[in-house]
Structure 1
């Protein structure tokens, strides 16, 4: 069970770390896109750019400007080209005058392009924007970009932090799982889910099958459990579980016994037209939670049977005494006197026996 919990925690932590890595990488490239696009658009709309591009030596004027803007913007390059894609500027002066590597057709129609290309500096992430004159005509393009390796390196610098946080989270989660698992095992006495399910099913079946009522009351006086027989004997409502004993409208003596933490054995109390034999035991006597367990047994029928048994026993005793005391002599008169004496003692105040004259004289 513990291994299963650790595997689940491990899966969750690994999933979270992977999602965090993907999100961090996406955020870095989104930030690079925003930075390159902002730098390109800012330079494309800078004052004097169109005039410099249309001047006699655009490279001499624009090269120092693009390098200064590149450093200020924190990008790897800012390139200015004419409509044909011929570079006016580049961080590597050897690339000036060569054709721009990338897509320029959309920019020639006034649109912005963001792409990844293999350029002179390596694998590059660049934004291409148009340069328009005062009449809206495209006179060239400005491209700003960053090397993908630099974007990735910034992301890679975050890896130790992310992985370290993931490892710490995994360690804490594993330790927490172990502590919770130990606590659960201690509280369930080492029983696993199957054993607990089986025990619950057995206990539930027993509670609903026994002829005795069982009621469990918490330390704050609430009914935690009442089986079918307890509901019948105490006439409890259907929603009794979870309610306080004081809210159930029970007789004062019955409520006092249910709320009591004293030990009671076979104490008989009247409940309606029944006589209930009550046993009560506190639940915290062995370190359990505060509360009590009360069992209820209907002794009305038992007492009625006991009365009938007592009557039968007295009659048997009478028969025994009569068999001993009566008929021990052949004297009919004395036998009649003994019979009358026994009957009067047990069944009536006085009795008489009339003997025929022929019986008396044989």
Structure 2
């Protein structure tokens, strides 16, 4: 901020406010992060903010009132988030008189700051992952498959188990894809009975932090499923081996993509190799062709190559890893072949 001559940052994303203050809003809130940061919140949230925030809290009746703060504290250049609601932006810009010189400019200071996880953050992600994995094991998916449970029943029970084991909620809507539906990376559930292949993607949230895991349960005697599973697993293992600080994220993506392309399935790997996570399930950086971010120690990312054969089935294997100087630590010990 100092290098770019900014006087403050205006934050409205709930997880950015949580990251700065420990307070997670339930209604509209704004954090003006400066030398003496302040959270402005509604009367409805004021008590909660007072109880949980580590920084000063004030009530704000109108977003237009912020211009008084800008003027009183001589704030001339203020950073805003790229996804600041346009209604907020218009109110702020519309409230500026001709004599006022302050300006708003989009910057991603917080997103860059959040890329490197503190030991406390890593511990929360580790706990979230352990909860998710323990719950999956308690689900005993193969028994549910034999009894022909539905995708909806599996997702519901897994959500209950994760909460019972200490999660506040799921990190995202659980994916349970079976048979042809598994060729859809983000398959919607349709109350389908479990067939001979199941692709699951799930996560738990613990103290605000997310986990993310995918496993694919194939039919033992299906040669095509085994072939695709082995290719994806090879891409997964080689990507894990090549991940360490100093390597660009696009290089990790290229490792996975090269393995899959080498077997003739280049066009069947239709998403990035992974992403960062933390308070959000998807954070910066992305492990993709277009992202040249250099990995640093204590970044936390997923590795999740996949192959999707339209109208047939799909396979994805995913774990969350902590980037280290000479490699990674895979969080959890959930088997890949189930």
Smaller-chain TM-score range?
Answer: under 0.3
Name the TM-score, length of structure 1 as normaliser. Answer: 0.20
In terms of fraction of residues, the more helix-rich structure is: 1
Q: Which has the higher contact order (CA 8 A, sep 6+)?
A: 2
Name the TM-score, length of structure 2 as normaliser. Answer: 0.22
Return the index of the structure with the highest Cα Rg. Answer: 1
